[in-house]
Amino acid sequence: MKPIRCIAIDDEPMALLIIEQFCRRKGGMELQTYSEPRVGLEAIQRSKPDLVFLDIQMNSLSGLEIADILPHESCFIFTTAHAQYALQGFELDAVDFLHKPFAYQRFEIAVEKAIRRIEARKVLPEETLVVKQEYSNVSIPISDILYVEALGNYVRIMRFSGGPILTRTSLKTVNDRLPKGRFLRIHRSYVVAVASVESFTRTRVTLKNGNGLPVGQQYAARVQELLGR
């Protein structure tokens, strides 16, 4: 099994040292540590690690902000002294929440949970989108997605079959995970499946189920280009 590629971000050097020691004790983990959150985020976006350890209250950027924009390839564990953030952390799809100071045994349990999630992603079909709904992971066939709508800090995924799925993430994050060429951003609040489009104009797209969605002015040229072929 390949080593798990990890990044830890915490503005307390002692906290990073403990994570480093625990990773060595666990074995099979390659770790990079960063005490400056923005530098750590740049490293995450560049290398897309398997697992990220995140403190929450930090000097220039909070762990909650970083978690909200992590690459979909990366799962994360919060490591913080502030237990009041636990619920918000799980809403962001954290694997686990380690309350400082934590023992090695608790660290190992959290890492094992992360490994199971990493391995599960590898065996899922490519044509599946996995999102968090409340406290459960939901697997959605790509072919079943009609359109995706931004709703504040959430997105609603409308399906051909079954009810909508509501998940806490950004429209950009979901759009980045969808197959290129099969989905089209038509508005700052909407991404549609190209196969679901019945007709379109420069200002509106009508879907095969009869729903009409607006086309944003800045997206009109791309809609004409892709759908007009």
Q: In sequence order, which residues have a C-beta less than 8 Å from that of residue 117 and are 6 or more positions away?
A: 75, 95
pLDDT in tens, 6-39: 999 999 999 999 999 999 999 999 999 999 999 9
- Please indicate, yes or no, whether the overall pTM of this predicted structure exceeds 0.75: no
pLDDT in tens, 52-88: 999 998 888 888 889 888 887 899 999 988 776 666 6
Which letter does DSSP use for residue 133 in this model? E
Are β-strands 154-159 and 190-193 bridged in parallel, bridged antiparallel, or unpaired?
A: unpaired
Ranges for all domains in the chain classified under CATH 3.40.50.2300:
4-123
The class level of CATH for 128-227 reads mainly beta
Fold type of domain 4-123: Rossmann fold (3.40.50)
Burial class (CB in 10 A: 0-12, 13-18, 19+), 162: exposed
Ranges for all domains in the chain classified under CATH 2.40.50.1020:
128-227
